Amino acid sequence: MKTNAYIAGVGMTPFGNHMGTPLRELGARAIRMALEDAGIEGADLDAAYMANGGGALIVGQGLIAGQVALRHAGIGKIPVINVENACASSSTAAYQAAAMITAGLHDVVLVCGFDKLYHEDKARTFAVFAAGVDVEQEGGLEAELEKIAEHEGVAIDDTPGAGRSAFMDIYALSALVHMKKYGTTQQQFAAVSAKNSYHGSLNPNAQFQQELSVEDVLASREIVYPLTLPMCSPVGDGAAALVLVSERKARELGLKQPVRMASSVLASGWDHDSDEPTLLEHCAKTAYAEAGVSPGDLSCVELHDASAPSEIIAYEKLGLCDEGKGGELVASGATRLGGHIPVNTSGGLLRKGHPIGATGAAQLIELTLQLQGRAGKRQVPDARVGLAYNGGGNIGTDAAATVVTILEKKDL
């Protein structure tokens, strides 16, 4: 979808352990910051798209989580749409809000992703992620993984999901396949985590701000081979919000550093043939075409590094390098601040954190700050075009939902 929505304001809480803070308060805090940044009041909103993934299981707040958070922020009456699309929830919310603006139905729309995943009972946390697959498929996720492993000729852990998120088994399997096909090494996966730890050390909102070396990453506790703990995104709590406006409203507000959502593509996984483009390749190709840009035009990228191997694979699917060359790309330093295409300058999911409902909105906030020159110590010089990729859930051999969004610095 080619859009004509502008980002007028952003706000987010630090990500981390907020067990003592109500879910509704996390959302309200990010909303207040975004409204202040945009220079508007809650009464100026035409609608709100509120994204949450774990609220029902973690705090028991389902069905109307968005209305509850908005009420806590002093906002009511407007249409509220609650969005749940796994880790892609708030990316989906932004897609929907931009569509309404582009269609001319609204001028000012709030997008907020907010979530809590920390719980004293870890089984409750793991249950959130376990719901992101087809829970009624015959044999469950274990049978699906075994089928893929047999087809690819790799061996996997014989107890998928034992004491960890089942998605780590999915990521480990994709890593093993990549290693077998292209010679990618565990050291190259560790280089992703080390790079993102450096970026996260510069981000005051990041959940983890300690810089790690490749050696530190490799020496950490193994989760499931080849993944060590720093190669896996953590659970987390937090909220992120954006105010999207029409071009007319952007002019009225006198936005000094306009950032336009040039394109946004949402698509769902399907049982595709092995020679078909993946879901991410499909979304990226469409988003580039609709925005009128190519991978070479990108200044920076925020992508879904739920595991370190996921980032390397995404490099290739987004066209940042040739197939099989993702490991070499990260090892070269190209995706680190100072390289020619910095990736996950926020610290990514690995270090900024991954409160699933808030993740997509947080990616868009990082890109907005970069394009506006407000990213502080992690600023990419002269950033003009940014891409966000966020995936969620699992269907067969691919994500259940993927969103690719391209932002551009655009004069009004």
CA 225 to chain centre: 24
> What is the pLDDT at residue 152?
67
Would 359 be classed as within a structural domain? yes
In a domain, 116, yes or no: yes
Alpha-carbon distance of 109 to 91, in angstroms, equals 14
| Helical residues (DSSP H) of 293-391, grouped into ranges | 308-317, 326-331, 348-351, 356-371
User: What pLDDT is recorded for position 146?
Assistant: 74
Catalytic residues: 87, 354
pLDDT < 50: residue spans in the chain = none
Per-position b or e across 296-318, b if 16+ CB within 10 A of its CB: eebbbbbbbbbbbbbbbbbbbbb
Terminal CA-CA length for the chain:
20
Domain assignment present for residue 277? The answer is yes
- Rounded-to-integer distance, Cα 173 and Cα 157, Å: 9
DSSP string, 284-320: HHHHHHHHT--GGG-SEEE---SBHHHHHHHHHHTTS
The closest alpha carbon to 354, from 305, 403, 300, 281, belongs to 305
pLDDT digits (tens, 9 = 90+) for 245-296: 999 999 999 999 999 999 999 999 988 777 789 999 999 999 999 999 999 9
Whether 340 is in a domain gets the answer: yes
Length of the chain: 412
| Biggest CA pair distance of the chain | 60
Angle at 163 between CA 237 and CA 348, to 5 degrees: 40
Domain assignment present for 171: no
Separation CA 27–CA 6 (nearest Å): 21
Q: Where are the beta strands (DSSP E) in 184-306?
A: 222-224, 227-228, 238-246, 259-268, 300-302
The reply to whether 186 falls in a domain is: no
Domain annotation covers residue 214: no
Distance, in Å, from the CA atom of 252 to the CA atom of 300, rounded to the nearest integer, reads 29
Residue pair 205/345 in contact (Cβ under 8 Å)? The answer is no
Residue 11, domain CATH: 3.40.47.10
Residue 64 is predicted with a pLDDT of 97
- Please give the pLDDT value at position 398: 86
User: Looking at residue 281, what DSSP letter applies?
Assistant: H
Q: How many Cα atoms sit within 13 Å of 297 on the Cβ side?
A: 15
pTM reported for the whole predicted model: 0.96
Please count the structural domains in the chain.
1
Here the tokens at position 183 are 């010679």
**Is residue 384 in a domain?**
yes
Note the pLDDT of residue 276: 85
Cα–Cα distance list, 236 to 149, 208, 382 (Å)? 30, 11, 32
Range of the domain at 395: 2-120+235-409
